[in-house]
Amino acid sequence: MGDSLSGGAPGRIGENPQAGCGAPVRASLDTIVSRLRYDLANVRIDQIIGAGPDPVFSFEFFPPKTPEGEENLYAAIEQLRPLDPAYVSVTYGAGGSTRGKTLEIVSRIRDEFGLEAMAHFTCVGATVEELRTTLDEMSRLGFDNVLALRGDPPAGQEEWTKTDGGLEYSAELVELIRGDYEFAIGAAAFPETHIHATSAEEDLRHLKTKVDAGVDFLITQLFFDNAAYFEFVARARALGVDAPIIPGILPITNVAQLHRIASLCGAVIPDGLRRELDARADDPEAVAELGVAYATLQCAELLAGGAPGIHFYTLNRSPATRAIVSALKLLRPWESPLAANAAPAG
């Protein structure tokens, strides 16, 4: 879920503009405070969702490929941290290509930033023994949550194929985790149907199988038409899927980038939105302004309609997500008269 594209605002976490012997001490104290804050708030994500009157906001990041990208990542996390996300997640990379880096980033976010962080985990390119080794490492590091996914094929490989000695379906990965580990388990859901599914009905049956295998909560693939989410939740509930379903939202900041991502995951761009974006294609600032406005309205409607939270695909950037979440926390659409009459959607 959420193809990773590098970028973000420049900056270096940990640099102190005040030179002198006090800087290292201050950095050390900041780390201790973050660690204490995390220890006091360390809970499973399935215990966070629905625990209070407010929805949960969460952010997704991806492991950068360059030192500059890594600086941008931690700068974005620092800028988003004041929004107090319920948790953040870190992707795994196509074919499990960032396995070690994902665990490193999750550990650093938890230890240095005091945020609950969840690793994505796929069964691509790994035997069952290798999967267990990684799960054991997650346990050793103190992780409490994992997002179990089948995963995308390695770079240059169009079709997904099972690894010899490995697993074929995400439901099998969920069964493996649930059987021997204490993690809270998240999984993916697809309001507009997974691109490799033969039908929406088949896709929903696979979802039910995953949840029955031990999934605690679901995060959807990105979408831009809220009707797709509400209809999907209704169909899932009718089939007996009772796990919370958190909508995944991508703030639009670049038209070409949007088209690439949508083509990879099968997300439908509504005609009206497409027209407005194309009319601004040569004005990046206007595109970003429209993207923030559209995502804010989209999230407000979802939350007023009973969605349990919003998961933002940040693409390792902070400005758009920061503006949207700040506006939502001011408006509190989940407390509107419409929300009071709405049944829980997610």
Centre a 10 Å sphere on the Cβ of residue 97 and count the other Cβ atoms it contains. Answer: 17
How far apart (Å, rounded) are the C-alpha atoms in residues 243 and 125?
A: 28
Q: Which residue has the tokens 């948790």?
A: 87
CA distance between the termini of the chain:
18
Annotated active-site residue 60? The verdict is: yes
Following CA atoms 124, 173, 109, 307 in sequence, which dihedral angle do they give, to the nearest 10 degrees? 110
Catalytic residue among 15, 60, 231, 301: 60
Show Cβ contacts of residue 268 under 8 Å, excluding neighbours closer than 6 positions: 192, 223, 224, 225, 228, 262
Three-class DSSP category at 107: helix
Dig out the tokens for 196 from the structure.
């490799």
In angstroms, what CA-CA distances link 21 with 15, 25, 26, 32, 240?
13, 8, 9, 18, 61
Which residues are annotated as catalytic?
60
